[in-house]
Amino acid sequence: MAYQTLLTGLSEGILTATVNRPDKLNALNRDVLTDLDTLMDEIAADSRVRALLITGAGEKSFVAGADISEFLSSNTADAMAMARRGQDIFARIEHSPKPVLAAVNGFALGGGCELAMSCHVRMAAENARFGQPEVNLGIIPGYGGTQRLTRLVGRGKALEIMMSGGMVDAREALAIGLVNHVTPAAELIAESRKLLLSILARSPIAVARVIAAVNAAHDPSVDGFAEEVRLFGECFGTEDMKEGVTAFLEKRKPAFPGR
């Protein structure tokens, strides 16, 4: 599928999507959001795609915030509509039954940090920098940043990051739980693929239900423990469960059918 702002490639079940606006440090604008929305349609419909890897073009930036040039023409209603749209698209990423990994290769600021946080796993290059600097513009994060950052790093650290508008380097991001791993920049994509391939060796049915159960922990409208019971029970009606248990008892590697 052709995109205006994304470069895509599929290999070994992993679709790599690169935000391709390097002259703007890959800043989010309406076109990028539209392409990300379409991308989620694509991975949902294409059985060849088993995982998604999102990164940014160039060596400087993953996604360096929103395109600020779009802000001055927006009023309160426009801004609320913009935030709802961004939140809806990032929620699609967060709730994707196929694993999504952010390979953060530089600046992940504002909307870029929010995009990374919507992914299930975050790998950071050593030069990565994270932040929610919206207070420097007289606004706050609007694409879910106030919620996801708080869940990931805790209330106090989230408040510090968002109120100061400062940046967090890769090592601190790892220490506070904002990212899963830090790697040399030259190894970022290879290490990200390695992690995704290890996930893809497991039951896709079970992986999807892990995602759903963990997301339920942050949904106040859902009893997370009851949802875990339901999803656990569903697994017992799948061919993947029968293959996994049989392979374990036979002391061999499972060949999950994904059913």
Question: Is position 94 annotated as part of the catalytic site?
Answer: no
Tokens of residue 20, six digits: 């391709």
Given the residues 114, 160, 234, 243, the one annotated as active site: 114
Please enumerate in sequence order all residues whose Cβ is within 8 A of that of 138, keeping only pairs 6 or more positions apart, or say none.
none
CA 176 to chain CA mean position, Å: 17
Nearest to 257 by CA among 242, 15, 248, 249: 242
- Residue 22 corresponds to which tokens in the numbers above? 């390097």
Give the strand pairing for 14-19 and 6-11: antiparallel
Both tokens of 10, joined, read 């599929």
Residue partners of 141: CB distance under 8 A and separation at least 6: 110, 114, 132, 134, 149, 162
What single string gives the DSSP state of each residue in 68-86?
Answer: GGGTTT--HHHHHHHHHHH
87 SS3 class: helix
Rounded Cα distance, 90 and 229, in Å: 27
Quickly tell me which residue has 């106090």 as its tokens: 156
Catalytic residue chosen out of the listed positions 12, 70, 94, 134: 134
Answer yes or no: 134 catalytic. yes
The burial of 107, by beta-carbon neighbours within 10 Å (0-12 exposed, 13-18 middle, 19 or more buried), is given as buried
The residues annotated with a catalytic role in the active site are: 114, 134
